[in-house]
């Protein structure tokens, strides 16, 4: 099983602990981004995962490449070009203070890529699954075209296509709204991954619920899934993550999925003392791709994905550095956190 993901990987610069940005003169420098995070998850679970992007041809691009190799991701299809590496600054919130993400992605190498720049025949050779997110089409008009080209060719070649809607308000700046672009992408997507806000902001499909309250009504989520599947008949499954945010440190975490016939709901995890919330959704996407390909029922796939992404909240950095057996143990019910010695 070979999976290819396409997207932007960024330098991630985080202030230490719960410090505000530049409170002290240190930043933790790692790398991450939605689609790369998915590739790392899949590689960690033992799958053959390739990540495709453009990186700048300098020491920073080199370091990023090394980090992907470290986690076993196939980087052989990555293009080196001019431009810079997109960067994001992260400040971890605490209690009632929210985390801050500041994007500094102008002129990133991938934002300058155009349809036609990638050799899809080589990239998709011997590949079964292609994953993309709503971030790449948001970066620039050329990246939008590249994204649509990618899913179209993937579909033509018979790959399963998954897409995490991943709506980011601050990115859609080139003159089109998400709701103008994302539906075009959806025509080629088999598996949709989203949260409530994503559905509304990316596709214009709403659930009747208020995310700032934290109270969730799973019935509404079934209806939301139904609406998405109805709008995009080629889509065979839509998985929705359900985050109830009590505070920056305390979230409830669960998910549901909907395949047109059945509605599946996961266990809900109470996550106190969250270590790092960024990449939580990506780790769910990685989990659901693994699950759908390695379990023969959707409940197990969903439960695996929720357990994997629950564990992500205990890991600092974008990548979900957990092992298959760790996810399986939590999925199996042991959430006691007792020392393993």
Residues 227-286 that bind its own copies (CB under 8 A): 245-250, 269, 271-275, 277-278
Are 23 and 35 within 8 A, CB to CB?
no
For the segment 108-167, give every residue that binds its own copies (CB under 8 A).
none
- Smallest gap, in angstroms, from Cβ of residue 215 to its own copies? 11
Residue closer to its own copies (CB basis): 122 or 212:
212
Residue closer to its own copies (CB basis): 84 or 131:
84
- Smallest gap, in angstroms, from Cβ of residue 285 to its own copies? 17
11 phi and psi, to 5 degrees? -75, 130
The span of 63-71, 175-183, 283-291, 292-300 binding its own copies (CB under 8 A) equals: 63-71
Binder to its own copies among 2, 57, 63, 328 (CB under 8 A)? 63
Binder to its own copies among 1, 27, 141, 227 (CB under 8 A)? 27
Are 123 and 96 within 8 A, CB to CB?
no
Our finding on whether 175 is near its own copies (CB under 8 A) is no
Distances from the Cα of 133 to the Cαs of 9, 19, 22, 177, in angstroms? 12, 30, 31, 15
Residue closer to its own copies (CB basis): 296 or 340:
340
Residue closer to its own copies (CB basis): 183 or 214:
214
Residue closer to its own copies (CB basis): 88 or 120:
88
Our finding on whether 46 is near its own copies (CB under 8 A) is no
Residue closer to its own copies (CB basis): 83 or 192:
83
For the segment 196-215, give every residue that binds its own copies (CB under 8 A).
211-212, 214
Residues 33 and 51: their CA atoms lie apart, in Å, by 11
Binder to its own copies among 80, 114, 170, 173 (CB under 8 A)? 170
Are 217 and 172 within 8 A, CB to CB?
no
For the segment 75-114, give every residue that binds its own copies (CB under 8 A).
84, 87, 89, 91, 93-104, 106-107
Q: Kindly state the number of chain residues that form the binding site for its own copies, as judged by CB under 8 A.
A: 81
Contacts of 128 (CB under 8 A, 6+ apart): 1, 2, 3, 159, 160, 293
Q: Please spell the DSSP secondary structure of 136-172, one letter per residue.
A: HHHH-HHHHHHHHHHHHHHHHTT-EEEEE----TTT-
Q: Give the Cβ contact number of residue 160 at 10 Å.
A: 19
The span of 27-35, 123-131, 157-165, 286-294 binding its own copies (CB under 8 A) equals: 27-35
The span of 46-54, 64-72, 220-228, 282-290 binding its own copies (CB under 8 A) equals: 64-72
- The answer for 173, left when phi > 0, alpha when psi is -120 to 50, beta otherwise, is alpha
Residues 109 and 140: their CA atoms lie apart, in Å, by 11
- Smallest gap, in angstroms, from Cβ of residue 306 to its own copies? 11
Question: Dihedral sign, CA of 33, 39, 40, 45?
Answer: positive
């Amino acid at each position: 099983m070979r999976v290819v993901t396409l997207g932007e990987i960024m330098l991630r610069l985080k202030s230490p602990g719960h410090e505000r940005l530049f409170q002290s003169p240190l930043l933790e420098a790692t790398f991450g981004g939605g689609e790369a995070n998915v590739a790392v998850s899949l590689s960690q679970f033992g799958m053959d995962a390739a990540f495709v992007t453009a990186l700048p041809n300098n020491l920073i691009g080199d370091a990023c490449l090394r980090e992907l190799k470290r986690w076993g991701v196939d980087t052989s299809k990555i293009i080196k070009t001019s431009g810079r590496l997109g960067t994001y600054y992260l400040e971890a919130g605490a209690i009632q203070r929210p985390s801050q993400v500041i994007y500094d992605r102008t002129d990133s190498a991938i934002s300058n890529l155009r349809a036609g720049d990638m050799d899809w025949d080589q990239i998709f050779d011997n590949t079964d699954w292609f994953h993309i997110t709503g971030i790449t089409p948001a970066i620039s008009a050329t990246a939008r075209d590249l994204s649509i080209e990618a899913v179209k060719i993937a579909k033509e070649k018979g790959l399963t296509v998954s897409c995490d809607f991943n709506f980011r308000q601050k990115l859609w700046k080139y003159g089109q709204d998400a709701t103008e672009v994302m539906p075009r992408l959806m025509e080629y997507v088999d598996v949709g991954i989203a949260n409530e806000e994503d559905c509304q902001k990316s596709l214009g499909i709403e659930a009747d619920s208020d995310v700032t309250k934290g109270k969730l009504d799973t019935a509404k989520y079934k209806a939301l899934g139904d609406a998405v599947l109805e709008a995009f008949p080629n889509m065979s499954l839509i998985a929705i993550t359900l985050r109830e945010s009590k505070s920056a440190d305390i979230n409830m975490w669960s998910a549901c999925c909907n395949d047109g016939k059945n509605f599946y709901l996961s266990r809900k995890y109470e996550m106190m003392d969250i270590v790092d919330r960024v990449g939580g959704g990506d780790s769910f996407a990685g989990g659901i791709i693994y699950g759908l390909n390695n379990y023969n029922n959707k409940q197990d796939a969903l439960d695996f994905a929720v357990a994997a992404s629950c564990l992500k909240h205990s890991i600092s950095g974008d990548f979900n550095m957990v092992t298959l057996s760790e996810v399986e143990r939590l999925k199996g019910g042991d959430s006691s956190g007792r020392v393993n010695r």
